[in-house]
Amino acid sequence: MARLLPRRSRIGVVELHGVIGTTVHPGAYFQLLDRLERAPRVGCVVLDIDSPGGSVAASEALYLKVARLRQKKPVVAFIRGTGASGSYMVACAATRVIATPSAIVGSIGVISLRPVVAQLMERLGISVSVSKSGPLKDMGAFYRPPTQEEEQKLQSLINELFGTFVQRVAEARHVEMDQARRSATGEVYAAGRARELGLVDELGDFDAALDMAASLGRVPRRVAYLRPPRSMRERLLERLGTWAMEGLWEDTGLPTTHGLWYL
């Protein structure tokens, strides 16, 4: 029976669940996607996405990796629950995007958050001595408010990253930049509205995503789940860290580290 199957006889399924850059570690996924790119028996890949996004660098890196994989074999992005911001960017690298009718899609934008504890430090009698090579070397420091120049430079950086995001959406969804910008308000959309806006191709469940993958890859509907390899220590530390960090994230709705985020 095995001889009757085509050489590319499987659909590879990769789960992208959680925050990109913390729960979803790009390095481990790079290795996995490299394996899928070289795997002769995998004719198509389904990315099972349920993620609020994540760091700019990690999301961008995954987008580029999936885009490279797509050059070798079809990729279907299946948005199971949430495909927002950075994870939606990753979905845009796929050949086709399908979402469950109840999925949340969009949140196209960039955000930068950092705590400023200058007043608290003052009340506690804590000061910080800084020696620096230039006026912007401690830009983003937690121990003082940003200057007007720093805010302008940060906004310029955000605008540039946002422009790249919108351009990727426009190219992936085959729409004009103006249309992509109109959808890129930072808001999230129900899957039906996202389809009307051209952000997804179809609505359907996981079985529909597998059917789409089988058709695009011209392979039987045989599924192989692939997950990044992790040691026992990594699994334990990740689980403990994830409980704490994602609990704080859920309570506040904000990232727990300073940086630029596709959220």
Active site residues: 85, 137
Is residue 138 within 8 A of residue 228, CB to CB? The reply is: no
Which of 14, 50, 11, 12 lies closest to 30, judged by CA?
Answer: 14
- C-alpha 68/C-alpha 217 separation (Å) is 16
Q: Please compute Rg for the chain using Cα positions.
A: 21
Give dist(CA 77, CA 91) in Å, integer.
5
Residue 216 CB-half CA count within 13 A: 23
What is the DSSP secondary structure assignment for residue 82, as one 8-state letter? E
> What is the SS3 assignment for 23?
coil
Q: Which two tokens stand for residue 206?
A: 């996981």
What is the residue-wise DSSP string for 103-125? -EEE----EEE----HHHHHHHT
- Helices 148-173 and 56-72: crossing angle in degrees, nearest 10, is 20
CB-CB contact of 78 with 46 (8 Å): yes
Pair 203, 214: CB distance under 8 Å: no
